[in-house]
Amino acid sequence: MNLNKTRNIQLLAGCICLSMAACSDDAPSTGGGQTGAVDDVSYIGKAVGNFSADEWYPGGELGTTLNVSEGCYEDETPATTNMGLTDQFNRGEMFFERNVTIDTPPFNGLGPASVRKSCIDCHPGYGHGKRQDSYKAGFGNGYLLVIYHPDDGANSNDGPYISEVTGMPQTQAVSPFLPPVDEDKITITWKNVTAMESGLSMTFPNGGDSYELIYPEVTIDPSAFNTYPVPTNYAVRLESTIGIIGTGLIDAIPDDSLKKQYELTARYSEVNPAMWDKEANDWASTAYYTNWTSPGALADGTAVTGKIKRYTYALTRASLQDGAGANAMWNIPNVSRPDRPKLYTTQAWADAMSMNADVISAIKRDPTSPYYADGTDEGIADAVKNLLSPNTNQFDNKWHNFTPDMSTDNFYAFMVWHRGLSIPRARNLNDPDVQRGKKLFMEMGCATCHRPSWTTGDDNYWTPDVIKGRPLPKYPKQKIYPYSDFVQHKLYMANDIHGSWCRTTPLWGRGLSLINTGAEDRLHDCRARNEVEAIMWHCYSKKSQAYDSAYKFYNLPKADRDAVVKFLRSI
């Protein structure tokens, strides 16, 4: 648990880190390491070159930590400190970092099936997941399986999720149950791109150095599925988690500001019709997140029926308090709480477990099991079928009444922590190479999608009824620099993301990924091992909405490409 809780301590830590750094100032052309540190402490908060003074604070004054050393992704925001919420923040952090157990309070509640046993498994060091060669649920594996029915052949990226397993498929189970998907029968094969679909050479024209691109292909043997029925005609993609830093600041961006961005984007680019109705020049009805676990209200008590989606690659979540982390604490380890009385499972899995003779036999030998019922095979099967069902209220049913695993107080602390995570300050903005990198980034048009700045509103955030009236960190009127338009685009990569549309990932703080997580992998499935590979995937196809910008990078002299990379590592 990181203890840098005040700005003075954070500044001291940053100074110590910089004074001890002995890295070269030369950024390698293909990534591979952190930006070489220069003496920038005396410049913090000052305008330098083409950077304004506030660009040192990507999360604004209320959302930025001055700490840039190892562990800085864990810091609380100044707003959290100022509001006297540090104790709740620290308590909430424990629920992120600790493994969920079956029955050891307060970390009890591991569901009968789960995706992971802890949040930090998917977000190592609070950052992006790491590239994996095999699918083993454990620390660093931020991969989520996407299993779906391809809608126009085996190579299609599009199509509905299969119904036999959950949307985030589970590969773990507690005894005596079997996991919905047996991870030993999941195969990840990394393929090398031998030729760019766009026709570009894999050697840069200016500088002569080459680049490599890889991508994963994933297969799951039908025998891996412990469901009834077993799915057929399916395809698989991988999606990695992204860093969780600064998510509360994203929540504070007003819906009206997002609408202006969509209006602008729709003038020159195709946009996802599920989010934007170009003919009406307005939100599509499906752009609103309305699947609240409770009616809830804004922080000032105002009722609200929906909020514009802004989280996940597929833009499936809106408010942080009812999506993203709030949702993940329930559906990743399957921890119940007062506002989440049902399991994250499927009936196909529940049915399969109720038909499994080994499962029935194991429960029959244990009269203390909540699934024991009357002790007969039929009674046990009926209890298993219904208690594992996603339709059963775990706290009020005729088979066995469980109690909530996570208390409201602990859920509140978890929300304080999640909304209270800061963004590290920018680094080396006084470096001429970083300044040149920014200039090139803007000239190439990268900022069209990786929009540098937003201004938060009053931050009258939505809150669920279960924690109504309890304060969360607030970020009103902050100029922030996430470097994302929060709009989905298409890149047309080989073996592309499910659904084809992918939200622009924020770039802030990513230059500190190596010292916080031990890896620098980028893009939705960690296929890019560094910044250069990530950029070149943007021009793999001429159909890519980012082709022109990436093509300009491709044609830069090596020194300029290095400057762009150095800039990306500094913001």
pLDDT of residue 207: 75
CA–CA gap between residue 421 and residue 245 (Å, rounded): 5
Mean pLDDT calculated for residue range 318-329: 82
Q: What is the pLDDT of residues 210-227, one digit of tens each?
A: 999 999 999 999 999 999
Angle subtended at Cα 58 by Cα 57 and Cα 60, rounded to the nearest 5 degrees? 60
Is there a contact between 281 and 456 (Cβ–Cβ < 8 Å)?
no
pLDDT of residue 1: 52
CA–CA gap between residue 288 and residue 309 (Å, rounded): 6
Q: What is the pLDDT of residues 406-446, one digit of tens each?
A: 999 999 999 999 999 999 999 999 999 999 999 999 999 99
Question: At residue 25, does pLDDT exceed 90?
Answer: no
pLDDT of residue 305: 85
CA–CA gap between residue 407 and residue 421 (Å, rounded): 22
Secondary structure class of 374 (helix, strand, coil): coil
Q: What is the pLDDT of residues 360-390, one digit of tens each?
A: 999 999 999 999 999 999 999 999 999 999 9
Question: Residue 467's closest CA among 422, 423, 417, 421?
Answer: 417
| Across 23-32, 176-185, 242-251, 295-304, least confident range | 23-32
Tell me, rounded to whole angstroms, the distance of Cα 326 from its chain centroid. 13
Q: Which residues of 528-560 are buried (b: 16+ CB within 10 A; e: fewer)?
A: bbbbbbbbbbbbbbeebbbbebbbbbbebeeeb
Mean pLDDT calculated for residue range 161-186: 97
In degrees rounded to 5, what are phi and psi of residue 286?
-85, 5
What's the pTM value of the predicted model, to 2 decimals? 0.92
Secondary structure class of 179 (helix, strand, coil): coil
pLDDT of residue 138: 86
Is there a contact between 115 and 137 (Cβ–Cβ < 8 Å)?
yes
Q: Which residues of 130-153 are buried (b: 16+ CB within 10 A; e: fewer)?
A: bbbeebebeebbbbbbbbbbbeee
In degrees rounded to 5, what are phi and psi of residue 113?
-135, 145
Secondary structure class of 476 (helix, strand, coil): coil
pLDDT of residue 127: 94
Q: 3-state SS of 521-559?
A: CECCCCCECCHHHHHHHCCCCCCCCCHHHHHHHHCCCHH
CA–CA gap between residue 333 and residue 553 (Å, rounded): 42
CA–CA gap between residue 347 and residue 166 (Å, rounded): 10
pLDDT of residue 24: 30
Q: What is the pLDDT of residues 187-206, one digit of tens each?
A: 999 999 999 999 999 999 98
Question: At residue 30, does pLDDT exceed 80?
Answer: no
Q: What is the pLDDT of residues 401-416, one digit of tens each?
A: 999 999 999 999 999 9
- β-pairing verdict for 423-424 and 64-65: parallel
CA–CA gap between residue 122 and residue 326 (Å, rounded): 15
Q: 3-state SS of 391-425?
A: CCCCCCCCCCCCCCCCCHHHHHHHHHHHHCECEEC
| Across 80-89, 203-212, 288-297, least confident range | 288-297
CA–CA gap between residue 287 and residue 304 (Å, rounded): 15
pLDDT of residue 34: 44
In this prediction, residue 316 has a pLDDT band, given cuts at 50, 70 and 90, of very high
- What value does the mean pLDDT of the chain take? 92
| Across 13-27, 81-95, 303-317, 367-381, least confident range | 13-27
Secondary structure class of 135 (helix, strand, coil): coil
Q: Which amino acid is at 191?
A: K
Q: What residues are paired with 490 via a beta bridge?
A: none
Q: Quick one: tokens of 149?
A: 């029915």
Alpha-carbon Rg of the chain, whole angstroms? Answer: 24
Question: At residue 449, does pLDDT exceed 80?
Answer: yes
Is there a contact between 334 and 110 (Cβ–Cβ < 8 Å)?
yes
Q: What is the pLDDT of residues 514-543, one digit of tens each?
A: 999 999 999 999 999 999 999 999 999 999
Q: Which amino acid is at 79?
A: A
Mean pLDDT calculated for residue range 136-141: 90
Q: Residue with structure tokens 């220069």?
A: 38
Question: At residue 80, does pLDDT exceed 70?
Answer: yes
Q: What is the pLDDT of residues 37-50, one digit of tens each?
A: 568 999 999 999 99
| C-alpha distances in Å from residue 516, one per residue of 24, 141, 247, 395 | 20, 15, 17, 40
pLDDT of residue 11: 41
Q: Quick one: tokens of 212?
A: 């490599």
Mean pLDDT calculated for residue range 391-400: 98
Instruction: Label residue 308 exposed, middle or buried (CB < 10 Å: 0-12, 13-18, 19+).
Output: buried
Question: At residue 17, does pLDDT exceed 90?
Answer: no
pLDDT of residue 154: 67
Q: Residue with structure tokens 């949702």?
A: 327
Mean pLDDT calculated for residue range 116-141: 93
Instruction: Label residue 508 exposed, middle or buried (CB < 10 Å: 0-12, 13-18, 19+).
Output: buried
In this prediction, residue 23 has a pLDDT band, given cuts at 50, 70 and 90, of very low
Is there a contact between 493 and 522 (Cβ–Cβ < 8 Å)?
no
pLDDT of residue 155: 72
CA–CA gap between residue 231 and residue 159 (Å, rounded): 14
Q: Quick one: tokens of 38?
A: 């220069």
